[in-house]
Amino acid sequence: MIRSHMQITSVSRALFVALAAGTLVSAYADPVAPTPAPKTDVSPAATSAVQANFPKRRAATPDSLKKRELTMLRKSVTLTPDEETKVTPIISNYVDAVQAVKSDAVTTTAEKRAKRKELHDQYVNNVKAILTSEQAQTWETANAERIARLREKKNLPAPAASPSEE
């Protein structure tokens, strides 16, 4: 009987020590448990290669898009102050319309693409109406070169030429 009592006491003592140790460990542990990463079929090497080719970009705001569009126009064409004041609302309306199309949850991707192309064609025609013929030609050439550089960078084949590519 004494022997079984000693065994129970030593087992109780061991349980108490384990319980106390676990309590102390959990008291010092981070209160927010890390969530496990979702499992994917992509290997870590492939993921890092993709991230190296496409660095993380910030989402562009409508204001930054408008500023970028005006900057690209200024880079390719020297605008007079009068031309700039006429072009700025055209750029603003274009960017706002494209953002509205992109955020439309009802429209299909193909419909969105068609609407954005229509908006872009209208935008190009409106800007060309303000520019002189030399400026319009220079702007069109600069846009074609920019698109060629972007396609080359992405290694995409050039589609059939369209008259109003940006």
Write the pLDDT tens digit of every residue in 28-76. 555 555 555 555 555 555 555 555 566 677 778 989 999 999 999 999 9
Cβ-proximal residues to 6 (8 Å cutoff; 6+ apart), any chain: none
Better-predicted residue by pLDDT, 133 or 17: 133
Contact criterion met (CB below 8 Å) for 90 and 130? yes
Nearest-angstrom CA–CA distance, 68 and 66: 5
Neighbour-count burial for 39-67, b at 16+ CB within 10 Å, e otherwise:
eeeeeeeeeeeeeeeeeeeeeeeeeebbe
Confidence at residue 108, expressed as pLDDT on a 0 to 100 scale:
92
Helix residue ranges per DSSP H, the chain: 2-28, 44-53, 62-76, 81-103, 109-130, 133-154
136 vs 6, higher pLDDT: 136
- Report pLDDT for 166: 46
- Cα gap 157→17, rounded to integer Å: 69
Instruction: Give Cα 154 distance to the centre of its chain.
Output: 16
User: Distance between CA 72 and CA 135 in Å, rounded?
Assistant: 13
In the block, residue with structure tokens 């690209």: 72
Reported as half-sphere exposure (CB side, CA atoms, 13 A), residue 53 has a value of 8
CA distances to 10, 11, 25, 143 from 1, rounded to whole Å, are: 14, 15, 36, 95
Whether the Cβ atoms of residue 96 and residue 66 lie closer than 8 Å to each other: no
Express each pLDDT in 105-149 by its tens digit.
898 999 999 999 999 999 999 999 999 999 999 999 998 998 898
